[in-house]
A and B are shown apart, each in its own frame.
Chain A
């Protein structure tokens, strides 16, 4: 058993193609790639919403905001 089908390098390399593990599962890998990417956007958006909500609730007086504007750099 070998995860890429090769059990020996006693071959002529001109006859060898893919060497990555789990060949034949490329479509599933691509689906997992999409899930990872889209899932990241979903979780990131939730986190950013929470952060913005916390920012909105903070500094009701505006003092820190004014100080931040004055500080500039």
Chain B
């Protein structure tokens, strides 16, 4: 009976994560829709392909090394211990392929214990984390439209999506991560580990890249470059909202026994947990996802005076700003955090644009970077003194630990991305030439398209009797 219960639990967990992956794919449908909506007509195709190709590139690299980083680096290494051996996440391991729960004679690198756990869960866990990875990379894409070289973005997409974010996840979004152990870092639905790091990377890319031609007047004041299709933008954001249900669900472990957690929890009551294996419920994140979204949309509507683009973006920012503590907040707390933080982020977007001449075409630094950063900081205060983990000896959640964590997340995205962008800029690989930017990055594609339209049209007209 016990074995059957474990089998059902494993298969349920496998299916649960499978469904989250399907939902999270909508985030990328949304990002592509949204970015194409913001870009001008002469840049549509390259804008679409720039974002879309992050999907295969991050997928391949996350298989080759990203997944292994998550399991190998929770100690730093060198902070709470050394590099951790994680054979089941190595790309050549049989458990990184179709496998059942046993071990074949002579099968290398697979223990019976690893096979029992990972034969059904490795693929779906890998897939769910991969979708987080692609999301983190995609966040950067929209900011830099209409002037960045696609190849430059794809290098940064791999750097952020398959190295930096998964490194910070090992540190602060893993049951044994050193930030959780030493700082009491709490970031249940990834305000910092996904959004702040992506915002930091986007800001670094924008600093190295510079603004679009025409964004700033001669006196330095910014011009508005309106989205070419507000409908597409808002539908894209709606799709991102929908995909975020999968994102949120994938931040939870749906069912686990206290014995499997093997921490301090006593008794026999099975529970859902957050990524740190501390108890929460799917109802908790459902309450708080919706209430923080509502707060964000209401705050965004007021501060932007009903601007559709910013109202929807602030809805997303509302979710992001409450995500760090949405496993534990009261719904009205989530709503108030989601209502207030996006207003601050909106103001910061225009302050930074005016003061530092940063041309963030989609407001990603504000929505994800500042929203994620502030979300982590707020959680440090709101959850002060609560246990960060079911394991003994871990630091409790506290404002200083979460503030330091938020800074670390932002800088971990910012510094390596700035260095990589400066190197690419020095090699002439970061930005398209001015002539190409003015023509539109789709210039050659559009010419080929129009030539085909003319040719087929001429051929058809020639057949008219």
Contact = CB atoms under 8 A, between A and B. Distances in A.
A59 interface: no
Contacts, number: 96
B330 A6 contact: no
Interface string A1-44: 11110111111111110011110001001101100100010011
Nearest to B379: A21
Contacts of B258: 13
A2 B264 CA distance: 18
Contacts of A7: 385-387, 396
B252 to A, nearest CB: 14
Interface string B378-417: 0000111111011010001000000000000000000000
B279 interface: yes
Interface in A36-71: 36, 40, 43-44, 47-48, 51
A13 B267 contact: yes
Contact of B298 (A12, A26, A36): A36
Given A7-B385, A36-B339, A13 B333 contact: no
A44 to B, nearest CB: 7
B385 A1 contact: yes
B302 A9 contact: no
Given A2-B385, A36-B339, A29 B330 contact: yes
Interface of B: 258, 263-267, 269, 271, 278-280, 284, 295, 298, 301-302, 305-306, 328-330, 332-333, 335-336, 339, 382-387, 389-390, 392, 396
Given A3-B384, A20-B329, A44-B306, 9 more contacts: A6-B387, A9-B265, A12-B269, A13-B267, A16-B279, A19-B328, A29-B330, A36-B298, A40-B301
17 contacts: A2-B387, A3-B383, A3-B384, A4-B386, A6-B386, A9-B264, A9-B279, A9-B389, A10-B266, A11-B266, A14-B269, A21-B328, A21-B330, A21-B333, A22-B330, A33-B335, A36-B295
